[in-house]
Amino acid sequence: MSARPLEGRRFYFVGIGGAGLSAYANFARAWGADVAGWDVRETIFLESLEGVDVQLGGEPSPPPDAEVVVSTAHTDRIEGRSRAEFLAELVLLRRAIVVGGAHGKTTTAAMIAHVLRELGHDPAWIVGGVVPQLGGNAGAGEGWLVVEGDESDRSIALLRPEIAAVTNVELDHHAAYGSEAELTDFFEDWLAQARHTVRGWELEPVSLALGVPGDHNRANAATALAVLELAGVDRTDAENAIASFAGVGRRFELVGERGGVRVIDDYAHNPTEIAVTLRTARELEPRALIAVYQPHVHERTRQLHHELGAALGLADAAIVTAVIGGRDAPLPGVDGRLVLDDVPPPTRRGWAPTLDDASALALHWSRPGDVVVTLGVGEPWRIARAVVAGLPG
């Protein structure tokens, strides 16, 4: 098969600044396609799209001869193929590994791609985060294609890989599934379509020394190593290579340290992930741990505000912003203040509706020896960068 199977095609990605479509755009470009796109505003993922024509603001305006691929968040703006349909086409073009699950799927997929590349297997990969060691969120080798699947809109069901892995099962997308049992059945139906399967919750976390901290990453590594064995990689070689994996952008990423304050940014957005991230931050033994959370998705906030507040209570201080929109419509009475009100004492609580408010309050509260952790799907990375920039040198 050609190393550039998309050569001669032109794609226009609507929502190109998102974690998913930015990866798809990079991948399509690497496989020979002409790529352009549109998004509402600048995002951190656009930094990986150097040289791509990206329109910001207004409305999308694709060239007349382009195939339009539309993010779930923008289906009301323009007609086109869904991102899931596009990804399903890519998965059919190569021997593929797809990783799904409630938590850890980005890191696990990145671990697999890292090991395959380190051991000379020349993988291709598409993951929902920037992986500095891999040079971005997508790459186009000629070996296995490693993909992160998405259950939030059930789109992972369209993917037909040779190896399918699910890291864990926990209800996180309440608009798509009525119960955890329904989600479990959904994943099992998907796994049944694959030749080889891995269920991460059945595995013991590894005891290896890893380059990424936390019990959750020991579990991620166990899933990755099981997948790699199915892909024909020697276990000892894989263990040696995975030890050098240094992590994914926005996954416990140290954004900077100034004035004795360390600032970490993390994608954690549901109660389990937030709790894991804050417990991992505790291992740094801060004078005080300050959590800054930007809620994402109104329905999740409505359903889980008690649990989100409790998780933030693991910090010494919690700052919460307004809910970022995009995936669902606002709900009356549902805002970040619901979460903040459920943060238990003695955790100090701060309401900061905007990103600027949040960074200003975090700067006001932080002292030498503290760790500030920004959390959420949307743009808390902006808060982290603003805090680092505002700290005394």
- Mean pLDDT over 32-39 rounds to 97
Same domain as 154, residue 228: yes
**Which amino acid, residue 37?**
G
Q: Is residue 76 domain-shared with residue 131, that is, in the same domain? A: no
Query: Does residue 248 sit within a domain?
Result: no
Nearest 5°: CA angle at 383, between 24 and 370? 125
Half-sphere exposure of 3 (CA within 13 A, CB side): 8
| Whether 301 and 375 share a structural domain | yes
Q: Name which residue leads in pLDDT, 129 or 190.
A: 190
Reported as half-sphere exposure (CB side, CA atoms, 13 A), residue 390 has a value of 20
Q: What is the DSSP string of 3-44?
A: S-TTTT-EEEEETTTSHHHHHHHHHHHHTT-EEEEEESS--G
220, 242, 264 - which closes a domain: 242
177-185 mean pLDDT: 92
SS3 per residue for 91-160 = HHCCCEEEEECCCCHHHHHHHHHHHHHHCCCCCEEEEEEEEHHHCEEEEECCCCEEEECCCCCCHHHHCC
Residues 129 and 24 in one domain: no
183 falls within a domain: yes
- Which residues, including other chains, have CB under 8 Å from residue 293's CB and lie 6 or more apart? 274, 308, 312, 318, 319, 320, 321, 336, 339, 374, 375, 376, 380
Q: What is the percent of the chain where pLDDT is above 90?
A: 86
Specify whether 230 is located in the same domain as 271.
no
Mean pLDDT of 348-367: 98
Which CATH number belongs to the domain containing residue 306 in this structure? Answer: 3.90.190.20
Whether 380 and 319 map to the same domain: the answer is yes
**Domain count within the chain:** 3
Encoded tokens for 55: 């329109």
Helix (H, G, I), strand (E, B) or coil at 171: coil
What proportion of the chain, given as a percentage, has pLDDT over 70? 98
Predicted local confidence at residue 175, as pLDDT: 73
In this structure, are 165 and 302 located in the same domain? no
Query: Looking at residues 273-281, what average pLDDT do you find?
Result: 96
pLDDT higher than 80, residue 274: yes
Q: What is the pLDDT of residues 300-339, one digit of tens each?
A: 899 999 999 999 999 999 999 999 876 678 899 899 999 9
Q: Is 1 inside a domain boundary?
A: no
What are the distances in angstroms from CA 173 to CA 101, 104, 264, 362, 392? 12, 15, 26, 29, 40
Partner residues linked to 371 by β-bridges: 262, 289
CA distance 349 to 267: 21
Helix, strand, coil shares of the chain as percentages rounded to 5?
A: 35, 20, 40
- Interatomic CA distance for residues 277 and 267, integer angstroms: 9
What pLDDT score was predicted for residue 171?
80
Q: What is the largest CA-CA distance in the chain?
A: 61
Is 110 among the domain residues?
A: yes
Q: Which domain holds residue 359?
A: 253-390
Q: Categorize the per-residue pLDDT at 177 as very low, low, confident or very high, splitting at 50, 70 and 90.
A: confident
Where residue 18 sits, what CATH number does that domain have? Answer: 3.40.50.720
Q: Are residues 156 and 293 in the same domain?
A: no
Q: Residue 147 sits in a domain of what CATH number? A: 3.40.1190.10
Which residue shows structure tokens 């496989």?
A: 31
Average pLDDT score, the chain:
94
> Do 201 and 293 share a structural domain?
no
Say whether both 67 and 98 belong to one domain.
no
Q: Which helix (H) or strand (E) holds 264?
A: strand 261-266
104/124 same-domain check: yes
Looking at the predicted structure, is the pLDDT value of residue 3 above 80? no
| Helix axes 298-312 and 271-282, enclosed angle (nearest 10) | 30
pLDDT exceeds cutoff 80 at 176:
no
Q: Which of 52, 80, 108 is the last residue of a domain?
A: 80
Please state the rounded mean pLDDT for residues 7-15. Answer: 97
The last residue of a domain, from among 50, 80, 110: 80
In a domain, 2, yes or no: no
pLDDT of amino acid 326: 61
The confidence score (pLDDT) of residue 73 equals 85
pTM of the model: 0.85
Q: For 54-107, write each residue's pLDDT tens digit.
A: 999 999 999 999 999 999 889 999 999 998 999 999 999 999 999 999 999 999
The yes-or-no verdict on residue 173 having pLDDT over 90 is no
Find the mean pLDDT for residues 281-295.
97
Of 303, 268, 69, 334, nearest to 176 by C-alpha is 303
Instruction: Give a yes or no: residue 3 inside a domain.
Output: no
Token pair of 34 as six digits: 């002409």
Does residue 247 fall inside a structural domain?
no
Residues 260, 237, single domain; the answer is: no
Q: Is 277 a member of any domain? A: yes
**Which residues have C-beta within 8 Å of that of residue 75, sequence separation ≥ 6?**
82
Question: Which pLDDT score, from 0 to 100, does residue 376 have?
Answer: 96
Mean pLDDT of 141-158: 93
Q: How far apart are CA 390 and CA 339, in angstroms?
A: 27
Tokens of 343: 């943060």
